[in-house]
């Protein structure tokens, strides 16, 4: 039989082109503050542009003040958000009050924007149970998930509940980082939501690193957005340093899911400017200045600030005034968090179940007796 060098299936071509549909991230303003999509830019009013800038200034000030508190030993775990303001505030701005939020540990800003208080954010960092007692009418959210990717499964379940309960114009949001897409829960969550065509919007905030592990070592996939295709989930990339593009994509993803079309996966291309956490990892041990500088040049605040300044909608005095206002609010929130009552064993036992099981009830009585002495 003569040799046949013709491929039945050109796997090499498939491999080299399968990421092509996902490699054109949506962008409205480039890293130089230049408007690259005038049609999309014109959908924003001046007031909306200013509001989005104010939210990014709010988040950056929250980060800076929270890091100060952390260095003073006044907080526990904190995951810095410096550099990810456009990704996080763009998405948060698209959320609506009735939506369910399942944040990861770097998503305190979105949680607060969705109805939790800064005080609760600080209590969560301090490991206080009062951090998780949200007003159910004001904050439809779980507390930040520490287990990587687990919130995707939770969000899928909530999305199915939304569908079964017949709630209209409501979606379930979940966030994870690039490292989360290497977890089994990530795939289970998007597959479950897709199988039931449940209204979930999944966000992957690709900041380049899972602690110290670069994205290219986590997966051979050229994009993280393409990971949705195996589960039948429409996916896209967006410039996560461009708050206008991020908001528009998040808004459209929400509308698609809320209309009964099933889940959506959005990868935001962003960057963690600082350490992974306040615990003190040193990014200089796994990143170079040459790698970091182009990302610093893409600073989301700088690019929108330039656009607004050119339109005479923003100036440094206005920004400085906002920063001082926000700092005062955060300092007040920290004082309230530090005034929270000391935790008791019975506080945890009483909030484990709505109705304590017999063994838990026995423990409550046991520890109440000890605590009363």
Kind of pairing, strands 213-214 and 209-210?
antiparallel
Alpha carbon distance 204, 207 (integer Å): 9
The per-residue b/e assignment along 14-36, b for 16 or more CB within 10 angstroms, e otherwise, is eeeeebeebeebbbbbebeeebe
* Region at 73 (left for phi over 0; alpha for psi -120 to 50; beta for the rest): left
Q: Is pLDDT above 80 for 3?
A: no
Dihedral angle over CA of 60, 63, 68, 71, nearest 10: -140
Q: For residue 47, count CB atoms less than 10 angstroms from its CB and return exposed for 0-12, middle for 13-18, buried for 19 or more.
A: exposed
Q: How far is CA 38 from CA 2, 27, 44, 299, in A?
A: 59, 11, 10, 21
pLDDT tens for 100-130 read 999 999 999 999 999 999 999 999 999 999 9
What pLDDT score does 134 carry? 76
Rg (CA), the chain: 22
Question: Residue ranges per domain, the chain?
Answer: 22-341, 342-373
Q: Is residue 305 annotated as part of the catalytic site, yes or no? A: no
Q: Tell how strand 264-269 and strand 235-239 pair up.
A: parallel
Q: In the CATH scheme, what is the homologous superfamily, with its name and number, of domain 22-341?
A: Thiamin diphosphate (ThDP)-binding fold, Pyr/PP domains (3.40.50.970)
- Which of 74, 82, 129, 286 is catalytic? The answer is 286
Has 209 been annotated as catalytic? no
Q: What is the DSSP letter of 341?
A: P
User: Which residue is catalytic, options 254, 276, 298, 305?
Assistant: 276
> What b/e string do you get for 124-163 counting C-beta neighbours within 10 Å, with b at 16 or more?
bbbebbbbeebeeeebbbbbbbeebbbbbbbbbbbbbebb
Contact residues for 252 (Cβ-Cβ < 8 A; gap 6+): none
Give the model confidence (pLDDT) of 50-74 as tens digits: 999 999 999 999 999 999 999 999 9
3-state secondary structure 182-232: HCHHHHHHHHHHHHCCCCEEEEEEECCEECCEEHHHHCCCCCCHHHHHHHC
pTM assigned to the model: 0.94
Length of the chain: 373
pLDDT single digits (tens) 180-215: 999 999 999 999 999 999 999 999 999 999 999 999
Asked if 99 and 172 count as a contact pair (C-beta separation under 8 A), the reply is: yes
SS3 assignment, position 278? coil
- The backbone region for 197, taken as left when phi is positive above 0, alpha when psi lies in -120 to 50, beta otherwise, is left
pLDDT tens readout for residues 223-250:
999 999 999 999 999 999 999 999 999 9
Nearest to 202 by CA among 252, 159, 265: 265
d(Cα 305, Cα 16) in Å, to the nearest integer? 38
The answer on pLDDT for 136 being more than 70 is: no
Q: Which of 140, 215, 272, 303 is catalytic?
A: 272
Q: Helix or strand or coil: residue 173?
A: strand
Secondary structure element (H or E) that encloses residue 364, with its range: helix 358-371
- Catalytic (active site) residue 276: yes
Per-residue pLDDT of 274-332, as tens digits, reads 999 988 789 999 999 999 999 999 999 999 999 999 999 999 999 999 999 999 999 99
């Amino acid at each position: 039989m003569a040799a046949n060098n013709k491929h039945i299936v050109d796997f090499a071509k498939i491999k080299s082109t399968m990421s092509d549909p996902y490699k054109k991230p949506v962008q409205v303003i480039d890293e130089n503050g230049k408007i690259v999509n005038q049609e999309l830019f014109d959908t924003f009013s001046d007031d909306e542009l200013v509001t989005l800038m104010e939210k990014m200034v709010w988040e950056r000030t929250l980060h800076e003040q929270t890091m100060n508190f952390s260095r003073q030993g006044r907080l526990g775990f904190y995951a810095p958000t410096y550099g990810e303001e456009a990704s996080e505030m763009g998405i948060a701005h698209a959320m609506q009050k009735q939506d369910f939020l399942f944040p990861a540990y770097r998503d305190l800003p979105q949680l607060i924007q969705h109805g939790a208080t800064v005080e609760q954010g600080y209590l969560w960092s301090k490991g206080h149970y009062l951090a998780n007692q949200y007003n159910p009418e004001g904050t439809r959210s779980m507390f930040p998930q520490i287990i990587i990717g687990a919130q995707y499964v939770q969000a899928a379940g909530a999305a199915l509940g939304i569908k079964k309960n017949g709630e209209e114009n409501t979606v379930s949001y979940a966030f994870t980082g690039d490292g989360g897409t290497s977890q089994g829960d990530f795939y289970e969550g998007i597959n479950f939501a897709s199988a039931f065509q449940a209204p979930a919007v999944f966000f992957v905030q690709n900041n380049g690193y899972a602690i110290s592990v670069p994205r290219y070592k986590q997966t051979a996939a050229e994009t993280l957005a393409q990971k949705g295709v195996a589960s039948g989930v429409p996916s896209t990339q967006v410039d996560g340093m461009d708050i206008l593009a991020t908001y528009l994509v998040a808004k459209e993803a929400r509308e698609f899911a809320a209309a009964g079309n099933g889940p959506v996966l959005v990868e935001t291309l962003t960057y963690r400017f600082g350490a992974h956490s306040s615990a003190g990892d040193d990014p200089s041990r796994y990143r170079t200045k040459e790698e970091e500088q182009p990302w610093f040049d893409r600073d989301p605040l700088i690019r929108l600030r330039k656009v607004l300044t050119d339109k005479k909608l923003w100036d440094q005095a206005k920004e400085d005034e906002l920063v001082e206002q926000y700092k005062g609010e955060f300092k007040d929130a920290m004082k309230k968090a530090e005034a929270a009552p000391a935790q008791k064993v019975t506080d945890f036992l009483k909030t484990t179940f709505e109705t304590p099981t017999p063994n838990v009830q026995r423990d409550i009585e046991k520890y109440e007796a000890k605590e009363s002495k």
